[in-house]
Structure 1
Amino acid sequence: MNLKYKKKYNRLKRCVKNCVVENSSVGDVLCFLQAELAAGREERMYLIERLMFHEGLERNPLPRNNFMGDGDEALFKKKIGTRNKSTTLMQKKKNSMFPINLNNLLVHSLGEIIPVNPNFHCAYWIYPVGYVATRIYAHPKDPRKKCVFTCKILNNAGIPQFQIIPDNDLDSVFFGETASACHEGLLKAIQQSLKDSVKLSFDVKGELFFGLSNIKIQSLIKGDPGFKFCANFRGFDIHRETNLFEDQDPSLCFEALQLLINNSLRAKEK
């Protein structure tokens, strides 16, 4: 009997030893992957920042006739297959323009206008479904650090869903049915991170944070075939929410926010 239990004991001992060695190996792999992930995030931050702020980096200037259909071809070729081919070519031509560098904003996809649904446009703004842009701003948990935010407009069962996603903190996603709701959530998180050390007065500017107020983006939206069918849309109001230049607005620009924080701290010390 003792020999039987001894064999079981040795077998269990080997199993435990193998588990310990395996867990140690898995821990080493996880540490390595975490280091690789951190390095990848830093590299991505560097590349995006360089892309946004380096002068003359736009290698795909906007063609003048990006949204003009092939008129002659449409007149002479009535077949559905030809029309589909023309649409595909135009879509490829449209996609080749992206990403578009707009100083502190990088637009990856313009998306598609849904004119039949009034939820995706109002009197002054149009919200294309599938719109994706990235912007550098302050991290919501540490406003002194830069963070790349991905701004998205999605279709949530016929209702627009706006998202602001921090690149290195997927647990802190800001979303809502309006762009301003997302932007307000981000600004509140930044204020909470600063706690009582500094009290900042922010102006919520959701559409500006998403880049929808940019003249180039508005021009591309006007070129979408569904633009003229947006019944409630009256026209982009370029004077709305533009009291400051973007690079001077602390609710949009990282550098302007840091300047505001520093000035507020100095004023508090006095």
Structure 2
Amino acid sequence: MKENAALCDQVAQTQENLVVVKEERLFLLRKLLQQQGEVDASSVLLRSQINNNSSSVSSDGITPKKSLKKRNSTDVSDGKSKPKRYSKATRKVVQLIPLDVHGRPIFPISLGDLTVYSLGEVVSDRLTYHSEDVIYPVGYCSTRVFASLRDARIKSLYTCKILDGGPKPRFEIASDNDLDQPLVGSSPDECHSRLLTAISSALCSLPSKGADFFGISHPTIQNLIQSSPGTRKLAMYKPQRFEVSKNQMAEMGVTPIVEEETDPSLGFAALHRHFALASSYRIKEEPNEQDFLALQELLA
């Protein structure tokens, strides 16, 4: 009987230690997600896991009150020493993407007309490879569907790359029809401006949005780049705040409206609508019902 009682006490003590370890693991996870700017998503995950742990422990007759108090007191002290380096801009909404068993993104990442094949590597020892809002990782590669250089009425696939250009990064946009003759610039805006001019002189009035065309300013991609090694060493970059779309967490099949659907400098359909309204431009392909309704609303 004494041996049985001793074993029961040992099992109870082991279960209490297990509860403490789980709470510490959740606390470390929360701090990690805070550094990545995903506080809202992590809080939901944290509450659900704490509820699961507390329910499973209560069924064994053990209440982790001491560990909860200890975690809460640590949270208060952590709130006082929280770094204030984050940008004051509004939190950006990221889309859910497929992850592997280790939590790493599965490539290619498809985001509408944009497809990202590589995030590249962050260069932290040269100031020209980042700004306050955007990072230019070397080796970044993406593709985007847009109007062809040879015939703006048909689609073409453009490959966007960021290469090591020495003192400054080298930006390239190459059409699938002319891969050997890319449009080169010292900034993404310069590349994008050359592309619009090459397609049609009527597009010169459109503002250049090179970072958006490359995809490095897309919230989902920017969040992944910001989480890459070496980001904390960047002198000028101000980390952005991100949050997971609540609608997407509730309805996995819903895709939010992206800027490329309404911006003629980024989307193929939006570019055709711009031509149709500006100069009675006739599209070679028959527009679908969605484009026709959008055109009717604009003309109403």
- Pair in the same fold by TM > 0.5: yes
Could you tell me which of 183, 193, 197 is aligned with 1:188?
197
Which aligned pairs between 1:249-264 and structure 2 lie closer than 5 A? 249-264=263-278
CA distance in 2 between partners of 1:199 and 1:212 (Å): 22
Query: Which one-letter code corresponds to 1:127 in the other structure?
Result: Y
Separation in 2, partners of 1:214, 1:120: 17
Is 1:212 aligned to residue 216 of structure 2?
yes
TM-score, length basis structure 1:
0.58
Structure 2: tracts of 5 or more residues without a match: 1-96, 243-257, 282-300
- Are residues 1:118 and 2:127 paired? yes
Residue 155 (1) aligns with residue 164 (2)? yes
Query: Partners in 1 of 2:240 and 2:122 — Cα distance?
Result: 15
Coordinate RMSD, CA, aligned: 2.7
Please say if residues 124 and 237 of structure 1, whose CA atoms lie closer than 8 Å, have aligned partners that are also in contact.
Answer: no
Range that drifts further, 127-136 or 139-148: 139-148
For these two proteins, the number of residue pairs brought into alignment is 172
Matched residues in 2 for 1:253 and 1:230: separation? Answer: 32
Equivalent residue for 2:235? 231
Shift, 1:237, TM fit: 9.0
Match of 1:164, SS? strand
Paired residues of 1:110 and 1:132 also in contact (CA < 8 A):
yes
CA pair 237-163 structure 1, distance change in 2 beyond 3 A: farther
Corresponding residue for residue 177 of structure 1: 186
Aligned letter for 1:252?
A: L
Indicate conservation of the 8 Å contact 2:226/2:239, yes or no.
no
Q: Deviations over 1:75-97 (max 9, x none)?
A: xxxxxxxxxxxxxxxxxxx4x61
- Find the residue that maps to 2:205 and give its secondary structure: coil
* TM-fit CA distance, 1:164: 0.3
Residue of structure 1 in register with 2:152 after alignment: 143
List structure 1 segments (4+ residues) > 6 angstroms apart after TM superposition. none
Alpha-carbon shift at residue 62 of structure 1 (Å): 2.8
Which letter maps to 1:262?
A
In the TM superposition, what is the alpha-carbon distance from 1:199 to its structure 2 partner?
Answer: 6.6
Distance 1:225 1:171, change over 3 A: closer
What stretches of structure 1 of length at least 5 have no aligned partner? 1-59, 67-93, 193-197, 239-243
Q: Using a 3 Å threshold, how does the CA distance of structure 1 residues 111 and 247 change in structure 2: closer, same or farther?
A: same
Whole-angstrom distance in 1 between the partners of 2:102 and 2:231:
16
Rate the CA distance shift 1:237–1:260 in 2: closer, same or farther, 3 A. Answer: farther
How far apart, in 2, do the equivalents of 1:207 and 1:236 lie? Answer: 15
Question: Could you say which structure has the greater relative contact order, defined with CA pairs below 8 angstroms and 6 or more residues apart?
Answer: 2
Paired with 2:275 and 2:116, the residues of 1 have a C-alpha distance of 28
| Paired-residue identity, % | 39
